[in-house]
Amino acid sequence: MVIVSGLIALCLIVSVSASYFPPGKAWVIAFFGLAFIPILVLNIILLIFWIVVRIRYSFIPFIAILISTPVFFHVFGFHFSKQKEKTSDSTGIKLMSYNVRNFDLYNWEHNNDTKSNIYKMMVDEQPDILCFQEFYTSDKDKGWTNEKDISKLLKLPEHYFSISNTVGKYEHWGLCTYSRYPIVSKGFVGNRGVNINACIYADVKTPAGIVRVYNVHLQSFHLNYKDYETIGFENDSAINIKAGKSIFSKMKKTYVTRGAQVQVIADHMHSSPYPVFICGDFNDTPSSFSYNTLRGTLKDAFLEKSWGIGFTYDYWLPIFRIDYFLIDQQWNIRNFKVIGEDLSDHYPIVCTVSSEGE
């Protein structure tokens, strides 16, 4: 049992190191980072066990838990005070980010009202800046002209739609950022002029000055239904072994790609002439290299104003927070929330910010 405790403690330490090692150089460590929460829980259970059974061995999980403290405070929020959101706030800027999964274009939710319910939710929220990932629009199909409809419905006159894929000349997919305020400059983030299809930016002229808003969608694992069945052990063992290798290969490739993406984005951020807001779908947890690299010295809106795990992805297990608002230190975060409506495989996130002194 002592050896088992030592191995699980070592796994937690390796999991912590995932925040600091680029996956391109140590991709195996990234897998441990993904499992930070369950590994931490196992160490806590072992700590309690050894305190009760033989306290002298409790130092094994205790040291590992102590080492994990910095990552622990990236994962868990402890802001318990009740948030007050002013509906008629003339100084605060309301931000919203949502991986909308193409507005359920292919009816994954088996609900014909999904898109209209998404629209209703956005009308209720009335964001000033709205960032979409997996955005879909059509130039012709009535009912799917989302690019124009959202601008008109929410009275967001400014927007930047970066198209990553077009089918049949009139169906488009990509990242889209809407703003109630003027967008004075915009573009995609690339490496030596090559679009990495993971991030766009818009320089928004707010009442408190220009800010640079990054809309991020990092590389996904692209796991399919069969992959999730394998993870859930719903197939026989022979199929699981073969499918497991496929899943492992996909994840390895994704971690390496994602590590490269965040380093390009971080370099771009550091050259920004304006305060930076980063939002979107990182497809990675707070115990990851992706999160640690992009956060830097920025404020995490969830950690500042919420509590618990704050999961935003609920396809498999409700433990993954992979959607974020990271806000410049010059700005105050007034509130934050995750809207727990099952309209996509992600939950939308909303926060209100204001400049210092407001």
CB 106 within 8 A of CB 134: no
Residue 90 binned pLDDT confidence (cut-offs 50, 70, 90): low
Residue 18 binned pLDDT confidence (cut-offs 50, 70, 90): very high
Same domain, 56 and 15: yes
CB 329 within 8 A of CB 299: yes
- Judge whether 14 lies within some domain: yes
- Judge whether 257 lies within some domain: yes
- Site of tokens 């400049």: 355
Amino acid at 127: P
Average pLDDT over residues 42-63: 96
From residue 67, alpha-carbon distances to 73, 74, 308 in Å are: 12, 13, 20
- Judge whether 87 lies within some domain: no
Of the three residues 30, 49, 75, the one that is the final residue of a domain is 75
Q: According to the model, what pLDDT value does residue 213 have?
A: 98
pLDDT of 88 > 50? The answer is no
First to last CA, the chain: 56
From residue 187, alpha-carbon distances to 194, 214, 215, 331 in Å are: 12, 10, 11, 23
Same domain, 106 and 47: no
Same domain, 204 and 278: yes
Same domain, 200 and 323: yes
Structural domain count of the chain: 2
- Site of tokens 């929220």: 125
Sign of the torsion angle spanned by Cα atoms 323, 135, 216, 332: negative
Q: Which two tokens stand for residue 336?
A: 């934050």
Q: Give SS3 for 158.
A: strand
Amino acid at 117: N
Angle of helix 36-53 versus helix 2-17 axis, rounded to 10: 150
Domain span at 53? 2-75
326-358 pLDDT tens trace? 999 999 999 999 999 999 999 999 999 998 655
Q: Give SS3 for 188.
A: strand
Same domain, 153 and 192: yes
Rg (CA), the chain: 21
Q: Which two tokens stand for residue 23?
A: 């996956």
Amino acid at 129: I
Same domain, 168 and 310: yes
Same domain, 38 and 134: no
Residue 276 binned pLDDT confidence (cut-offs 50, 70, 90): very high
The beta strand positions in the chain, using DSSP E, are 77-78, 93-99, 129-138, 158-167, 171-179, 183-191, 194-206, 209-217, 276-281, 299-300, 307-308, 323-327, 331-338, 349-355
Residue 237 binned pLDDT confidence (cut-offs 50, 70, 90): low
Same domain, 145 and 66: no
- Judge whether 83 lies within some domain: no
168 Rama sector, left if φ>0, alpha if ψ -120 to 50, beta otherwise: left
Query: In angstroms, how far is CA 192 from the centroid of its own chain?
Result: 25
Q: Hey, what's the torsion of the CAs at 215, 329, 347, 202, to 10 degrees?
A: -20
* Minimum mean pLDDT range among 3-7, 36-40, 78-82, 344-348: 78-82
The count of residues in the chain is 358
What single-letter DSSP state applies at residue 139? S
Same domain, 56 and 124: no
* Minimum mean pLDDT range among 21-30, 70-79, 92-101: 21-30
Supply the mean pLDDT for the chain: 90
Same domain, 228 and 274: yes
137-191 pLDDT tens trace? 999 888 899 999 999 999 999 999 999 999 988 999 999 999 999 999 999 998 7
Q: Which strand ranges, in their side-by-side order, compose the sheet holding 299-300?
A: 183-191, 194-206, 209-217, 276-281, 323-327, 299-300
- Judge whether 84 lies within some domain: no
* Minimum mean pLDDT range among 45-59, 193-207, 228-242, 316-330: 228-242
